[in-house]
């Protein structure tokens, strides 16, 4: 019911939450088309896409540099500032999706495999509530 109310208030604008609608493949296809329409394949090798992930990550970090926890919380409470943060997050996602798309990395499968490894590295009985690295558990 709350979702219907939210949708009706948002009528005529962009959907409020599409994460539950879009597949990773659709996102990869969207990024691929954007790049191919601009003939950017020649620039998108693994090294430069990885550099893109890091440079965009640095742009995200810049918003938090020298900020207290309270100031960071205020950033996320400001729709304008949150929009800027969202743009940097999506810049990172764009390069990540492009890298995965160009080099046939199945993100869902890879995430599952990595999470399985992490479950072994960080068993709940040892890691719950702890911020220690797995080598120190």
Cβ of 24: how many Cβ atoms within 10 Å?
14
Stretch that binds Mg ion, among 15-23, 86-94, 104-112, 123-131 (CB under 5 A): 86-94
107 binds Mg ion (CB under 5 A): no
Cβ of 89: how many Cβ atoms within 10 Å?
14
Among 59, 72, 84, 107, binds Mg ion (CB under 5 A): 59
Among 91, 93, 102, 122, binds Mg ion (CB under 5 A): 91
Cβ burial, residue 47 (10 Å; 0-12/13-18/19+): exposed
Residues 39-58 that bind Mg ion (CB under 5 A): 56
How many residues are recorded in the chain?
137
Task: Report yes or no: 31 and 98 within 8 Å, Cβ to Cβ.
Answer: yes
Closer Cβ to Mg ion, 17 or 55, answer by number: 55
Closer Cβ to Mg ion, 57 or 122, answer by number: 57
Residues in contact with Mg ion by CB under 5 A are: 56, 59, 88, 91
């Amino acid at each position: 019911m709350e979702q219907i109310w939210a949708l009706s208030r948002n009528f005529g604008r962009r959907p409020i939450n599409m994460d539950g609608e879009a597949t990773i493949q659709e996102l990869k296809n969207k990024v691929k088309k954007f790049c191919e329409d601009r003939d950017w394949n020649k620039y998108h090798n693994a090294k430069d896409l990885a550099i893109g992930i890091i440079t965009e990550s640095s742009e995200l970090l810049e918003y938090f540099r020298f900020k207290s926890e309270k100031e960071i919380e205020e950033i996320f409470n400001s729709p304008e500032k949150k929009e800027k943060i969202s743009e940097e997050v999506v810049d990172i996602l764009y390069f990540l999706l492009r890298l995965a798309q160009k080099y046939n990395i199945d993100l869902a499968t890879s995430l599952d495999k990595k999470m399985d490894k992490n479950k072994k590295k960080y068993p709940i009985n040892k890691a719950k509530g702890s911020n220690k690295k797995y080598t120190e558990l």
